[in-house]
Amino acid sequence: MSTELSTQTQPRGLALQTFDDAMRFASLVAKSDFAPKDFKGKPESCLLAIQHGSEVGLSPMQSLQSIAVINGRPCIWGDAALALVSASHVCEYVVEEIEEGKDGEALVAICTAKRRGYPKPTVVRFSVADAKKAGLWAKSGPWTLYPKRMLQLRARGFALRDAFPDVLKGLVTAEEAQDYTTQPEPPKPAVVRLKAEPAIVPDDRFGQAKLAISRAAKIEVLDALRTAVDKRVSEGVFTDKQRQELVDMIHHRAEMLIGDDDNGQEFTHEAAQHEVANG
């Protein structure tokens, strides 16, 4: 990847030949008071503005003062656009005028731009009626303070883009971009978080009975458990199949205790009954 910057013309001032040169210059400008407000402390934005300006023939400092990003779109201020077009060899002339009627709302801005070699000029008219239709007339800000100037800039932007698209490379005027209505971001979908219900622990008396049998350390405890199992079967707590499984466990555990000399941990008769009968 080449590190050379695209530079059509560098009439005067500092010539930035490489990417590193431009990055160092952009970092310097971003820290200085010469950086426009939107570029202050943003060397990357300064660099891209310099590159964008160089592609239409602006020097680095001209680029920083003439290129803006409005509503996420690179733009060029109207006076810089007129300067670029007027300096181009394809421009024969640009004439601007304001027609005034009997009342203050009969103003019409006219921009006539003639491209060299073309038989007819491009003529754009932008009137108060056009501004009202676009919702611009009496809009707070420049349209209220400088209505003639804003009509003039709007007619200029349209005419220059129509007659000299190759000079402006698709850049719209910043004054026009400022009047675009931005689409609001769609609301983020609401996330409903349900409160987790506490887990329901089943009454697993069968499991508790198996645990009590595995913990029994005396034959007397196993006898008590056998009695408790039979009682639970009569009460409908255990099925016959579960009873048989528990009885088999009791027999197996009894065989282990008989053949084991280790005393282990002892459980009382009452404790064993509680494990099965009361859960």
What integer pLDDT is reported at residue 182 of this predicted model?
A: 64
Residue showing tokens 């060899």: 89
What integer pLDDT is reported at residue 35 of this predicted model?
A: 83
What integer pLDDT is reported at residue 203 of this predicted model?
A: 61
Widest pairwise Cα distance in the chain: 122
Q: Which residue, among 12, 24, 115, 3, has the nearest Cα to 58 in the 3D structure? A: 12
d(Cα 5, Cα 7) in Å, to the nearest integer? 6
Q: pLDDT averaged over consecutive 10-residue blocks of the chain (279 residues)?
A: 43 71 88 85 88 86 87 88 93 93 80 94 94 88 90 94 92 88 66 60 76 86 87 87 89 81 46 48
Query: Residue 257 is which amino acid?
Result: L
CA 252 to the chain's CA centroid: 66
Bridge partners of 189? none
Strand order in the sheet with 91-99: 91-99, 108-115, 122-127
| The model's pTM | 0.57
What integer pLDDT is reported at residue 73 of this predicted model?
A: 84
What integer pLDDT is reported at residue 184 of this predicted model?
A: 56
CA distances from 176 to 71, 101, 113, 136 (A): 11, 24, 18, 10
What integer pLDDT is reported at residue 271 of this predicted model?
A: 46
Q: Which residue, among 103, 104, 105, 123, has the nearest Cα to 113 in the 3D structure? A: 123
Instruction: Enumerate the H helices of the chain as residue ranges.
Output: 19-30, 43-55, 60-66, 78-87, 128-133, 142-145, 147-163, 165-168, 174-177, 205-215, 219-234, 240-258, 269-277
CA distances from 217 to 148, 229, 232, 258 (A): 103, 17, 22, 10
What integer pLDDT is reported at residue 80 of this predicted model?
A: 92
Q: How crowded is residue 206: how many other Cβ atoms within 10 Å of its Cβ?
A: 19
> Concatenated DSSP letters for 172-202?
EEHHHHTTSPPPPPPPPPP---PPPPPPPPP
d(Cα 221, Cα 218) in Å, to the nearest integer? 5
Report CA Rg, the chain: 44
